[in-house]
């Protein structure tokens, strides 16, 4: 039995998703960089907190870039 | 010319009859054969209605086609209306018992069988062509009764070979009925007439389908075209062309594309060509390609065009095996086109395995690897190749492959990884002490 393939997300939503993920991602990246270069707790850093922040940043901005490609017609 | 000339050797015909000729030749008798040959385009399209009686139980019916002809054959069972499998010149059908009757409809498309004669014409002259064939139906079996009707492009007939009873009426030439003709009987048929249909030949066609599971099927076609009618004699005059258009020139090419096609482009090696348009029809779109210059006899041109399709209409999932099946046409939707070298490429998603092809005709297969955006090991490219195609253009072929459901998340993960690497770089950077003076920290403490 053959059933038509359905893609996970409708292509019509790609530009919106690209915009939202990029805005949120860039905001997280900016916050991450600011928190990195600001001395806290007498110069000591919490590596787990940093990595958590980095993960959130990379997921949102990575998806943002991915949807930018899809919205731009580069169907990877 | 009334003389019966053996213009193609009986040897060539016999060579075509593969294997046991003795058993083949005696297994059928053609009771009635009606041929209608359409010569209104550059292709010769013969529709042959065959009523054959089996002399003994058989499941293979054979055709005799001169090996020097470029032909493509489609066969339908007239009783069930279903297409039958054709391998070279053998038609496989359901078993027919001795004295049983088989009704077949054979469509033979001959390419390059109409030769321009004269070979060179001036810009304003009409194009005369010469068509050669056999007065009789070429067959390895005895034929009891047969009749042939030839439909020409124009009623301007210079000459037509005669074999009584035969007649020329307007643009129709009819031969027969002929009774009790032995197997492999050949009598040269030759018709010389005016045919100004576009003799457009794609000397090399490369069609690419790029599958993305994120919702797109990109189609790109590279055309190398040539006007293979009578060659232009003398220089081309644009002024004469404006005043009195040449009867045998090609100004535009119309291609039928699926209704859901979008994002068209049409380019050549110089860049974008703006003279293309598409029009909507109930079941399809017509893409009108106007080359940079009109094609006169013998002239060549090459360009490429492409569009996007929603993948969901062409890709299916086999619910039993979980494999994906892509169902698309093999060639281009240009009417009466003849392709000399036909290549179709399927660029499948990265990680696709078990690639299989189902085609209603024999096709050469090979595999390549191509790296495009966000690829690591490259995408598998299935290459199909066939020489001299006409009817195959419109037929659908199926490509099936397996792909793990995680494979399509490879590209977003790659980008997420890249951004994560950037964050880690920032973390490493801020941990280095890069300032020259050590006082900074002291100053900071004082201000705090």
| B254-267 pLDDT per residue, tens | 999 999 999 999 99
Helix axes A47-71, B410-431, angle to 10 degrees: 140
Average pLDDT over residues B21-50: 85
Q: Which residues of B touch A74 (CB under 8 A)?
A: 373
Joined together, the tokens standing for residue B321 give 């095996």
What's the pLDDT tens digit per position in B47-92? 999 999 998 888 888 888 888 888 888 888 888 888 887 777 788 7
Q: Which residues of B touch A69 (CB under 8 A)?
A: 373-374
Average pLDDT over residues B313-335: 93
What residues contact B196, with CB distance under 8 A and at least 6 apart? B126, B127, B153, B154, B247, B248
B339: left (phi over 0), alpha (psi -120 to 50) or beta: beta
Selected for mutation to probe chain A from B260, B416, B444 (highest A CB count within 10 Å) is B416
User: Which of A7, A29, A55 faces B215 most closely, judged by CB atoms?
Assistant: A7
Distance CA A36, CA B430 (A): 7
Half-sphere exposure of B217 (CA within 13 A, CB side): 22
Q: Which residues of A touch B319 (CB under 8 A)?
A: 1-3
More confident residue, B335 or B5: B335
Residue A5 lies in a domain: no
A18: helix, strand or coil? helix
Structural domain boundaries in chain B: 10-194, 200-407, 413-447
Distance CA B396, CA B400 (A): 13
More confident residue, B265 or B447: B265
Q: Does CATH place domain B200-407 in 2.60.40.1730?
A: yes
Nearest to A76 by CA among B210, B128, B63: B210
User: Which of B218, B320, B408 faces A1 most closely, judged by CB atoms?
Assistant: B320
What is the average pLDDT score of chain A?
91
Distance CA B429, CA B301 (A): 57
pLDDT confidence tier of residue B23, bands split at 50, 70 and 90: very low
Pairing of strands B120-121, B231-232: parallel
Q: Is B320 part of the contact surface with chain A (CB cutoff 8 Å)?
A: yes
Q: Are B41 and B197 in contact (CB under 8 A)?
A: yes
Q: What percent of chain B has pLDDT over 90?
A: 68
Q: Which residues of B touch A45 (CB under 8 A)?
A: 431
User: Which of B213, B320, B325 faces A7 most closely, judged by CB atoms?
Assistant: B213
**Residue matched to tokens 């139980």:** B57
Average pLDDT over residues B21-43: 83
* pLDDT of B19 over the 50 cut: no
Average pLDDT over residues A21-43: 87
Q: Is B422 part of the contact surface with chain A (CB cutoff 8 Å)?
A: yes
Q: Are B211 and B370 in contact (CB under 8 A)?
A: no
Q: Which residues of A touch B435 (CB under 8 A)?
A: none
pLDDT confidence tier of residue B100, bands split at 50, 70 and 90: confident
What is the average pLDDT score of chain B?
88
Average pLDDT over residues A19-47: 87
**Which range among A56-70, B61-75, B227-241 shows the weakest confidence by mean pLDDT?**
B61-75
What's the confidence (pLDDT) of residue A37?
A: 85
Give whole-number Cα distances, B310 to B208, B211, B214, in Å.
15, 10, 10
What's the confidence (pLDDT) of residue B213?
A: 93
Q: Are B138 and B66 in contact (CB under 8 A)?
A: yes
Selected for mutation to probe chain B from A1, A6, A7 (highest B CB count within 10 Å) is A7
* pLDDT of B312 over the 90 cut: yes
Q: Are B360 and B83 in contact (CB under 8 A)?
A: yes
Q: Are B388 and B70 in contact (CB under 8 A)?
A: yes
Q: Are B111 and B150 in contact (CB under 8 A)?
A: no
- Compute the nearest-CA separation of B205 from chain A (Å): 24
What's the pLDDT tens digit per position in B222-233? 999 999 999 999
Average pLDDT over residues A51-73: 95
* pLDDT of B187 over the 90 cut: yes
Give me the number of domains chain A comprises: 1
Residue A30 lies in a domain: yes
More confident residue, B361 or B333: B333
Residue A28 lies in a domain: yes
Joined together, the tokens standing for residue B302 give 């090459």
Please give the distance of CA B96 from its chain centroid, rounded to a whole number: 33
What's the pLDDT tens digit per position in B124-155? 999 999 999 999 999 999 999 999 999 999 99
Q: Are B139 and B30 in contact (CB under 8 A)?
A: yes
- Compute the nearest-CA separation of B191 from chain A (Å): 50
Joined together, the tokens standing for residue A24 give 């949120």
- What is the domain range of residue A17? 12-36+47-71
* pLDDT of B401 over the 50 cut: yes
Q: Which residues of A touch B445 (CB under 8 A)?
A: none
User: Contacts from B439-446 at CB under 8 Å and sequence distance 24+?
Assistant: B441/A43, B444/A39
What's the pLDDT tens digit per position in B380-393? 999 999 999 998 88
Selected for mutation to probe chain A from B217, B415, B432 (highest A CB count within 10 Å) is B415
Average pLDDT over residues B360-380: 91
What's the confidence (pLDDT) of residue B438?
A: 62
What residues contact B81, with CB distance under 8 A and at least 6 apart? none
* pLDDT of B37 over the 60 cut: yes
Q: Is A58 part of the contact surface with chain B (CB cutoff 8 Å)?
A: yes
Q: Is A42 part of the contact surface with chain B (CB cutoff 8 Å)?
A: no
Do A62 and B419 make contact, defined as CB atoms within 8 angstroms? yes
Q: Between A and B, how many CB-CB pairs are < 8 A?
A: 106
pLDDT confidence tier of residue A42, bands split at 50, 70 and 90: low
Per DSSP, the residues of B98-127 read TT-EEEEEEEEEEES-EEESSSEE-TTSPP
Q: Which residues of A touch B417 (CB under 8 A)?
A: 58, 62
Do A69 and B373 make contact, defined as CB atoms within 8 angstroms? yes
* pLDDT of B8 over the 70 cut: no
Distance CA B354, CA B321 (A): 12
Do A73 and B212 make contact, defined as CB atoms within 8 angstroms? no
**Residue matched to tokens 């590209």:** B411
A31: helix, strand or coil? helix
Distance CA B120, CA B297 (A): 8
- The CB density around residue B218, as the number of other CB atoms within 10 Å, is 19
Residue of A nearest to B314 (CA): A4
B49: helix, strand or coil? strand
Distance CA B413, CA B395 (A): 38
**Residue matched to tokens 């039958």:** B84
Q: What is the H or E stretch that residue B388 is in?
A: strand B379-389
User: Which of B311, B411, B427 faces A76 most closely, judged by CB atoms?
Assistant: B411
Q: Which residues of B touch A73 (CB under 8 A)?
A: 263, 308
In terms of CATH architecture, what is B10-194? Sandwich (2.60)
Residue of A nearest to B441 (CA): A43
* pLDDT of A28 over the 90 cut: yes
Do A62 and B313 make contact, defined as CB atoms within 8 angstroms? no
Per DSSP, the residues of B138-198 read P-SSEEEEEEEEEEESSS-EEEE---SSEEEETTEEEEEEEEEEPTT---EEEEEEE--S-
* pLDDT of B5 over the 80 cut: no
Do A57 and B419 make contact, defined as CB atoms within 8 angstroms? yes
**Which range among A37-41, B103-107, B316-320, B345-349 shows the weakest confidence by mean pLDDT?**
A37-41
Burial class (CB in 10 A: 0-12, 13-18, 19+), B78: middle
Q: Which residues of A touch B352 (CB under 8 A)?
A: none
Do A7 and B210 make contact, defined as CB atoms within 8 angstroms? no
Q: Which residues of A touch B418 (CB under 8 A)?
A: 58, 62
Residue A25 lies in a domain: yes
What residues contact B194, with CB distance under 8 A and at least 6 apart? B126, B127, B128, B129, B153, B154, B156, B158
Q: Are B125 and B119 in contact (CB under 8 A)?
A: no
* pLDDT of B445 over the 90 cut: no
Average pLDDT over residues A46-62: 93
Show the beta-strand stretches assigned E in B240-363. Answer: 253-258, 262-267, 276-280, 284-289, 300-310, 315-318, 324-329, 338-347, 353-358
pLDDT confidence tier of residue B431, bands split at 50, 70 and 90: confident
- The CB density around residue A63, as the number of other CB atoms within 10 Å, is 22
More confident residue, B441 or B378: B378
* pLDDT of B437 over the 90 cut: no
What's the confidence (pLDDT) of residue B67?
A: 81
């Amino acid at each position: 039995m053959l059933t038509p393939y359905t893609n996970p997300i409708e292509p019509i939503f790609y530009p919106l998703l690209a915009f939202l993920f990029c805005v949120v991602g860039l905001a997280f990246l900016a916050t991450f960089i600011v928190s990195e270069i600001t001395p806290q707790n007498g110069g000591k850093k919490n590596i787990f907190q940093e990595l958590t922040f980095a993960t959130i940043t990379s997921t949102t901005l990575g998806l943002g870039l991915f949807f930018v490609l899809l919205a731009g017609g580069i169907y990877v | 010319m009334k003389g019966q000339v053996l213009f193609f050797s009986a040897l060539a015909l016999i060579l075509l009859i593969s294997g046991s000729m003795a058993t083949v030749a005696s297994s059928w008798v053609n009771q009635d054969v009606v041929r209608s040959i359409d010569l209104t385009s550059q292709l010769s399209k013969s529709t042959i209605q065959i009523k054959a009686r089996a002399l003994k139980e058989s499941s293979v019916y054979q055709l005799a086609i001169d090996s020097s002809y470029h032909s493509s054959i489609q066969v339908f069972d007239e009783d069930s209306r279903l297409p039958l499998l054709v391998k070279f010149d053998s038609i496989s059908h359901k078993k027919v018992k001795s004295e049983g009757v088989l009704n077949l409809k054979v469509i033979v498309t001959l390419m390059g069988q109409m030769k321009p004669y004269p070979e060179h014409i001036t810009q304003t002259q009409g194009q005369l062509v010469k068509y050669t064939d056999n007065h009789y139906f070429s067959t390895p079996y005895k034929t009891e009764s047969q009749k042939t009707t030839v439909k020409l492009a124009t009623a301007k007939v210079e000459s037509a070979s005669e074999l009584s009873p035969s007649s020329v009426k307007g643009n129709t030439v009819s031969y027969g009925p002929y009774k009790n003709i032995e197997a492999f009987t050949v009598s040269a048929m030759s018709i010389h007439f005016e045919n100004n249909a576009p003799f457009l030949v794609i000397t090399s066609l490369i069609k690419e389908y790029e599958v993305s599971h994120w919702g797109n099927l990109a189609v790109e076609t590279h055309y190398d075209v040539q006007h293979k009618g009578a060659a232009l004699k003398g220089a081309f005059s644009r002024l004469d062309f404006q005043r009195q258009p040449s009867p045998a020139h090609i100004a535009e090419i119309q291609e039928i594309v699926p209704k859901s096609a979008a994002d068209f482009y049409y380019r050549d090696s110089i860049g974008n060509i703006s003279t293309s348009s598409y029009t909507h029809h109930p079941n399809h779109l017509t893409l009108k390609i106007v080359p940079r210059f009109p094609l006169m006899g013998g002239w060549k041109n090459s360009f490429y065009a492409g569009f996007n399709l929603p993948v969901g209409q062409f890709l299916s999932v086999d619910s039993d095996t979980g494999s994906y099946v892509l169902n698309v046409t093999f060639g281009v939707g240009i009417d009466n086109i003849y392709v000399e070298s036909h290549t179709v490429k399927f660029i499948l998603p990265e990680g696709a395995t078990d690639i299989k092809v189902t085609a209603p005709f024999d096709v050469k297969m090979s595999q390549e690897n191509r790296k495009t955006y966000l690829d690591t090991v490259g995408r598998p490219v299935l290459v199909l190749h066939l020489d001299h195609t006409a009817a195959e253009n419109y037929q659908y072929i199926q490509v099936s492959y397996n792909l793990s459901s995680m494979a399509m998340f490879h590209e977003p993960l790659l980008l997420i990884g890249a951004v994560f690497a950037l964050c880690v770089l920032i973390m490493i950077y801020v941990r280095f002490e890069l300032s020259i003076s050590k006082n900074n920290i002291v100053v900071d403490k004082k201000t705090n």
